[in-house]
Amino acid sequence: MINTLAFRPLAEAVNARRETQRHLDCLSRQIAARAGRQATTVKVRSRARRRSGPRHYHRELVERLVFERWGELDGLDRRLAAQEQVTDEIEHCDHPLAQ
């Protein structure tokens, strides 16, 4: 008989990690979309446009927005790393041959 209760902590840890990764991906998409909207709506002086180009300006906007939301991104990165560590420890404890 398979003990399904032994797999529950691992499943919970994997689901928590997956949810955090989804949140981080959503935040990244929001930043990219906002930078894209700002790049198309903000008028860049013609001199600056010739010098740096629209792609360079878009990248600068993305970097600025990432800097503004650095605290949230850093918190999600730390949570994701902790959840990966917990998942690895649970997987290691579940395998009797690995000990």
Counting residues of the chain whose pLDDT is more than 90, the rounded percentage is: 23
User: What pLDDT does residue 47 have?
Assistant: 47
Average pLDDT (9-16) is: 86
> pLDDT-based confidence at 97, cuts 50/70/90?
very low
Q: Is residue 91 within 8 Å of residue 35, measured between CB atoms?
A: no
CA distance 86 to 99: 17
Who has greater pLDDT, 70 or 10? 70
CA dihedral 71, 72, 75, 80 (to 10 degrees): -150
Q: Quote the CA–CA distance of 99 and 96 in Å, as a whole number.
A: 6
**pLDDT per residue as tens digits for the range 23-35:** 999 999 999 898 8
Domain chopping of the chain, boundaries: 26-94
